[in-house]
A and B are shown apart, each in its own frame.
Chain A
Amino acid sequence: MGTKCDALIIGGSAGSLDVLLKVLPSLDPALSFPIVIVVHRKHGTDSLLPELLSGRTKLLVKEIDEKEPLSAGNIYIAPSDYHTLIEQDHTFSLDYSEKINYSRPAIDATFQTAAEVYKEKLVCLLLSGSNADGVNGLKSVKVWGGTTVIQDPATAQVSYMPEQASLHAKIDHTLRIEHMAEFINLLS
């Protein structure tokens, strides 16, 4: 498909963990770009998610620390109860401002800041979920020339989020779960 990718951001809410658990084991362990995962989860319940996901892949999985640089081949998990933003110097910053779409982390915040940084070399993938977080973010991604991808709503446990995205933003690719890993590997 010829897309050159400098970063892949995956956003999801209800029903997205299952997708991640299915996709991660098939990822190429030598990816040439970082993956950032922003999923809604309850605050206070720990950092189980990085642990859970790191059992499924050879890529390094870690929760984001503020000011940490993004490095190729790593999978970064947005911490709960903060917004994850991406800076022009390709580092993360965290932000405890108002919830957006009732969510913190908000997928929109990460998509939007990444859109301006990586422009046409950004790929954003929105998974299953029950609210419309991420939709405005995908619009920004298009404004800056990036690639927008959604989970095929027919394969989503909760189809609302990818459906809203397809209604309100221009979507470049709609993927079934079993095609996601191959798609991601080909971005490398």
Chain B
Amino acid sequence: MNLELPTISDGQVEILLSDLLEHYGYDFTGYSKASIKRRILRLYSLDKALSFAEFRYRINNDTFYFKRFVEQITVNVTEMFRDPGFFKTLRDVVLPKLGTYPFIRIWLAGCSTGEEAYSISIILKELNLLHKSLVYATDLNPIVLEKASQGMFAMSQMKQYSENYILSGGTNDFSSYYTANYSLAKFNDELKSKLIFSTHNLVSDHSFNEFQLILCRNVLIYFDRDLQHKVLTLFDDSLEGLGYLALGTKETLDFSPISPNYKRIPGEKIWRKIG
């Protein structure tokens, strides 16, 4: 991004966010300001908006552009087996524990384009647990879910993902999980047989089931403290006793009201519900 001059003020950001809430019911007012402002500025310059007024008018009156706006101001960067050490703990500790249950329900909140959902499927399959698991992968953004449900990722990423997979304890040939299709790697249908992609907005939607494992990594960093507490309470309401909650590398349960009921797996951003 090359921005030499501030083109949108903090006040104008507030205006856009309240428009979104009023016209479309999307509530971004609890998001961290610096990050969302950068996202908005990025889109403003990417789309070469002529003025703030024009930009605002377009968001409010052009449904297609509004969708683009929501897609672009939320961060959808993700990868397969990101932080391999985390996936290794899932494989070695968490999922084997859950494997003793007759049925495993997992919620992946903020799944974006689905790379983590397919990573989890691969581990479940290798642990021979896929047949009795169901992974609800949700995001507020229908466009990324559409992509996620296709299970096709850039071929150029496969080298990196394969390295991550091996570091996370995977021992199969990673390329056996997809077929190369020009520039895309299409992941085997079996892997998505237990994935349910669906819209869910952590800010405004309620709990919809009870889970034994909830993963929400690198989503809370975009929320202010109040919204973080609200969402963590939603997770607490959606997690069975002895279930696990997994957050991103730089996220924590420490300051939240639910933390007394949780015990952390040492060295990992994974907590078990004990209360």
Q: Do A and B form a real pair?
A: yes
Residues of A within 8 A of B (CB): 44, 65-67, 79, 81-82, 85-88, 93-98, 100, 108-109, 112-113, 116, 136, 139-140, 143-144
**Binary flags per residue of B167-194, CB closer than 8 Å to A gives 1, else 0:** 0000000000000000000000000000
**In the complex where A79-B250, A97-B77 touch, is A86 in contact with B34 (Cβ < 8 A)?**
yes
B1-38 contacts to A (CB < 8 Å): 1-6, 10, 32-35, 38
Q: Tell me whether A93 and B35 are in contact (CB under 8 A).
A: yes
Taken together as a complex, chains A and B put the C-alpha atoms of A98 and B33 apart, in Å, by: 18
Tell me if B263 is interfacial: C-beta within 8 Å of chain A: no
In the complex, which residue of chain A has the Cβ closest to the Cβ of B254?
A65
List 28 A–B pairs whose Cβ atoms lie within 8 Å, in order of A's numbering.
Answer: A44-B83, A44-B84, A66-B221, A66-B250, A79-B249, A79-B250, A81-B249, A82-B221, A82-B250, A85-B38, A87-B32, A87-B34, A88-B10, A93-B32, A95-B34, A95-B221, A96-B77, A96-B248, A97-B35, A98-B77, A108-B1, A109-B38, A112-B3, A116-B6, A136-B3, A136-B4, A140-B4, A143-B4
Tell me if B55 is interfacial: C-beta within 8 Å of chain A: no
Taken together as a complex, chains A and B put the C-alpha atoms of A82 and B5 apart, in Å, by: 24
In the complex, which residue of chain A has the Cβ closest to the Cβ of B225?
A67
A-B contact count (CB 8 A): 69
In the complex, which residue of chain A has the Cβ closest to the Cβ of B4?
A139
The B interface, classified by DSSP as helix, strand, loop or mixed, is loop
Interface size, chain B (Cβ < 8 Å): 27
Q: Tell me whether B221 and A93 are in contact (CB under 8 A).
A: yes
Q: Tell me whether A136 and B34 are in contact (CB under 8 A).
A: no
Q: How far is the CB of A157 from chain B (nearest CB, A)?
A: 27
Q: How far is the CB of B49 from chain A (nearest CB, A)?
A: 19
Taken together as a complex, chains A and B put the C-alpha atoms of A88 and B11 apart, in Å, by: 12
**Binary flags per residue of B48-85, CB closer than 8 Å to A gives 1, else 0:** 00000000000000000000000000010100000110
